[in-house]
Amino acid sequence: MNDGRITLTRRAKQAGLAALAAVTLLGGATWHGLAAVPQATQSKTDRSTTGTTPAVGHAIAAGRDSYADVVKIVAPAVVTIRVEGKAKVSPTEFQEDDFFRRFFGEQFDRRQQPRTPRSFKQRGLGSGVVISNDGYILTNNHVVNGADDIKVDLTDGRTVTAKVIGTDKPSDLALLKVIATDLHALTLGNSDAVQVGDVVLAVGNPLGIGQTVTMGIVSAKGRSTAVGDDRNYEDFLQTDAPINHGNSGGALVNTKGELVGINSQILSNSGENIGIGFAIPANMARHVVDELRANGKVTRARLGVLVQPVTSDIASSLGLKQVNGAIVSEVEPGSAALRAGIRQGDVILSFDGQAVHDTNTLRNRVAETKPGSEAKIVVLRDGSEKTLTVKPEEASAGKVARRGEEPAADDKASLGISVAPLTPDVASRFGVPKNTKGVVIEDVKPDGRAADAGLRAGDVIEQVNRQSVENVEELRTAVRRGADKPLLLLIKREGRNLFVTVRPNA
C-alpha cells in the first residue's frame, strides 16, 4: 500500500557500465538551442516606404566561443574499453523446494540432482585514456576487474587487444598496454594547481552511445565518498560536468587539453547523472602509473596512528585558532609514529611541508611517501608546535592506515551518565582490555548531552581535557573544571581509543 511518502536513498555509484549478460543501449534526448538574433529598428517612414516586415540584422562578427580546439587534441586519446569475463551462478533455492517432487514424483526430486554451477559470459563497458605513444592506457580498476578479455576501440575505428600491466584497487586505477601505432597521448597535468571554478571537460563513452564530450567546472577538491573499505585512497576532484555509466576511466581535462583527472564515480539518488561526479586527480594517477610500470603493484607508506578530524568543539577544547589538522587518538605500539615521538592527543598540522587539512589529506600524503624515507611532521602539543622526523613504514595488506572516525558533537543537555570504578569484575563484565585505566560508563540517560555526543554503556573514560581520570571523583572534578567549554574526552571503546567532545550545558 502506498502511503504517499517517498524515501530517497543517497547512493554513491561507480560510473562504469555494470557488467551485463546482454548490453542494452539507452538513447538520450538531444537538446537544440535557439539563437536569439537582434532585430533592426525602422522608422515609420521606412515602413511606409517599403511596406514590408522590419529587416533582421546580422549577428556581430566575433571570435568563436568554443572548446572545439581542445576537443580536437583530447578526443583521439580517449578510448572505449570492452571487457568480457566468465561468471558462475549456483543453483537457486527454488531447487531445494519439493514442488516438483510433490507433483511429479520422486524421480523429479531436484534435491537428488547434482548442484552444478552454470556459467555465462559477462560483458562490460568503460572508457580509458592513452597516456603514452607506446601504448599505455589508464582506466579504472572496476572497469577491468575480473575480465578475461579486454578490447580497446580506438577513435580511428581500430580495435586492439589490451594486456593488464597492473591494477590498484585502493585508488581504483588500472594500467593497460596495447600494441598499436599512431596513438595520440594526453599529457598529465598538475591536479594540485586546479582551482575550484576552473572549467573542465569530461570525455568518455556514456551508455555505449559513442564518444561524448560534456562541460562543467571543478566543484570541489579533496573529496572522499567513503565508497568501499578503509583501504581505499580517495582525493577526488568533484565536477558538475555530466558523467554517466560508461564514462568510468575517461578523461577530465582542463582548457589546455591536459589530463587533470580520471572519471571514476557519481553520486546520485537515481543512479544517473545529477551533476555530482568525481575524478581521481592526475597527481595521484601519476604516482600509481609510475609504481605499476616499475613494479606491477603500488607500494604505500603508513605512520601507524588512528586519527580523527579536528572539529570546532575539539579546536575550542584545545585552544586552536583554526579548525584544521588531524588529532591523534591512538598510536600503535612499535609503529613509525611511536618511534618518531608522536603522542596521543597531538594535532598533526603538516606532513613533509604540506598542510594537513583533514584526515583524508594526511592519509594520502603519507601513502605517497616512499617507505623508509624521512619526512618532517609538525604537531601541536600542549599549545606549542613541535617538528618531528618520521620514517613511515610500508603498508602491507595486513597493516593499513585506518580511516579516522568522526566524534559525535551535538550536545544540548546535561551530562547524563552513571559511571563506576574500573574494577576487575566491571572490566570483565564490559569486556574492557586488561591494564585499561579510567572509569566505565554503566548507563547513559537517553536525553542527556553525553548520549547526544555518542557515549554509550561500556565506554571507558580515560581522559577529560587531556587530564587522566582513574576514579569517579577525578571525573567529577575534571567535568566541573571544564563546565564552560566543550569537554574533550578520551574514551576506549571495543579496544580502540577515540576522542569525543561533549558540549557545555545550554
**In the block, residue with C-alpha cell 599505455:** 136
| pTM confidence score | 0.63
Whose CA is closest to 212, among 242, 178, 234?
242
What is the pLDDT, as a whole number, of residue 119?
52
Domain 417-502: CATH superfamily, name plus number: PDZ domain (2.30.42.10)
Q: Which pLDDT value is given to residue 270? A: 77
| d(C-alpha 39, C-alpha 59), whole Å | 10
Strand, coil or helix: what is 474?
helix
Q: Is 287 a catalytic residue?
A: no
Distances (CA, A) of 263 to 14, 85, 116, 172, 281: 9, 23, 39, 10, 9
Q: Which CATH number fits domain 14-20+67-103+119-298: 2.40.10.120, 3.30.450.20, 2.40.280.10, 2.60.40.10?
A: 2.40.10.120
Same fold, 301-394 and 417-502: yes
Strand 467-468 versus strand 487-493 pairing type = unpaired
CA separation for the pair 146, 137 (Å, rounded): 18
Yes or no: say if 2 and 185 are a contact pair by the CB < 8 Å rule.
no
What are the DSSP E strand ranges found in 382-502?
Answer: 384-390, 393-394, 417-421, 439-444, 460-464, 467-468, 487-493, 496-502
Q: What angle do CA 491, 359, 503 make, to 5 degrees?
A: 45
Give the Cα separation of 310 and 390 in Å (integer): 22
Q: Are 175 and 131 in contact (CB under 8 A)?
A: no
What pLDDT, on the 0 to 100 scale, is given for residue 350?
A: 93
Check if the beta carbon of residue 312 is closer than 8 Å to that of residue 277: no
Q: What is the pLDDT of residue 14?
A: 54
The grid coordinates of residue 485 equal: 567549554
User: Which residue of the set 127, 248, 264, 317 is catalytic?
Assistant: 248
pLDDT (0 to 100) of residue 118: 52
At 267, which helix (H) or strand (E)?
Answer: strand 259-268
Residues 476, 490: Cα–Cα separation, whole Å: 15
| Residues of the chain falling short of pLDDT 50 | 1-12, 17-53, 56, 88-116, 228-230, 397-413
Cβ proximity of 504 and 471 under 8 Å: no
Which one is the CATH code of 301-394: 2.40.30.10, 2.30.42.10, 2.40.50.100, 1.20.1250.20?
A: 2.30.42.10
Looking at residue 220, its pLDDT comes to 94
172 in active site: yes
Q: What is the pLDDT of residue 61?
A: 54
C-alpha of 93 from chain center: 36
Q: What are the strands, taking DSSP E only, across 134-181?
A: 136-139, 149-153, 159-168, 173-178
Cell of 11: 547512493
Site of grid cell 613509525? 336
Distance CA 13, CA 403 (A): 20
pLDDT at 90: 42
Active site residue 248: yes
320: helix, strand or coil = coil
Task: Give the Cα-Cα-Cα angle 291, 250, 137 (nearest 5 degrees).
Answer: 40
Report in angstroms the alpha-carbon separations of 397 from 174, 231, 333, 400, 484. 18, 9, 18, 7, 45
Query: Which residue among 153, 168, 171, 172 is the active-site one?
Result: 172
pLDDT of residue 121: 67
**Residue ranges per structural domain of the chain:** 14-20+67-103+119-298, 301-394, 417-502
